[in-house]
Amino acid sequence: MTASHQHERSDALMERARRVLPGGVNSPVRAYRAVGGEPVVLAGGSGALVTDVDGNEYIDYVASFGPLILGHAHPAVVGAVRDAAERGTSFGAPTEAETELAERIVEAVPSIELVRLVNSGTEATMSALRLARAATGRDLILKFDGCYHGHADGLLASAGSGVATFALPDSPGVPEAFAAQTLVVPFNDLDAVERTFAAHAGAIACVIVEPVAGNMGLIPAADGYLAGLRDICDRHDALLLFDEVITGFRVAPGGAQQHFEVTPDLTALGKVIGGGLPVGAYGGRLDLMERMAPQGDVYQAGTLSGNPLATAAGIAALDTLAADEGAYARLDELGARLQEGLAGAAADAGIALSVSRIGSALTPFFRDGLPGDYAAARECDLDAFGRFHRAMLERGVLAPPSQFETWFVSLAHDEDLIDRTVAVAAEALAEVAASG
């Protein structure tokens, strides 16, 4: 395996893009500022592989940052989208497909009795928090350092991946009055949560948490942590909101709440439920969701919510997953194979590397020992990660371009692709060790 990829057309297209797009991208992490070098511009994907505009092929672990659990261009998803498009791409009116997707979500996710479809994870969390404030009559939200819940005002405080990468102020452009409604404490620290509730007695509407943090790298909740949050919220009459935009239908059919056996009051979803198309959803207990207009008095709307293409793709993805009884076991096995392979390759190279994983989602942290919170994640050797990323890319493996992002394995990966990835990683880590 040699580092011989050429990127002339990608480089030219990025130069062209920077003339019309801020930084040449439509989402900051894609600019590769955290890893150095120029982004590759992708032309297509099939299964676990993607191809750039120069014709280079890569084993893909970005997977559109999570939704492509079946791999790229899965025939069932492509066929469903094609059929839906032939019937019309948007109506601004009810369709049967949005009800069918909602039925699948309600059946699978333990906490959800009613669900509202939206267009993004940001919309889902923003709307769920509005509902939480209305239901409790309180204003304050408690979130966790390094957890990302979308780019709505007030949620960008200590938000992980993109913000961490660029060392931006927590919330530029957000009025101080908005930011002051968000309280931030360390992840996996119940004592900090208890102290915060004591200091703001009767004022906290909701605790919002990624049950498996995915934007400070993959950091699962510690044993008992989610149950502890559930108990604290119950004692203080606050609501518990799980942001399962990444974990929903990824770590289990019912998400992290099924895996950890802790039921939140509200849940935000995205990624897998859209099968690769833009989608989000929020849902929860009947008495809460009945507050949403037109049934209740809390307003939220969207012309493209329940879009027929997105719902068709989501139904196809969820049905394909549900029909494969061994899907999650196979994903777990492939994830474990990659985790063990990366850790072994790092040990052979003499590189400090700890690989965190839950199911088919993982992050190799360039540090000794697994981090439990964002402060520990920031102790990683970011320069080493950047050199590793560039060496992997040149050898045909596309990893997320930030130490603080999560890698995703799909059902389109197989043992051969995992083993090829580990072999590439061994070469890349040896190069990092030699240059370090």
Enzyme catalytic residues:
148, 243, 271
Order of strands, edge to edge, in the sheet holding 407-408?
A: 354-358, 361-365, 407-408
Distances (CA, A) of 249 to 71, 259, 319: 14, 11, 11
Pairing of strands 49-52, 57-60: antiparallel
CA separation for the pair 36, 385 (Å, rounded): 10
Q: How far apart are CA 249 and CA 317, in angstroms?
A: 10
* Contact of 219 with 213, CB cutoff 8 Å: yes
CA distance 39 to 65: 15
Q: Which residue has the tokens 């809390």?
A: 298
Q: 265 near 288, Cβ under 8 Å? A: yes
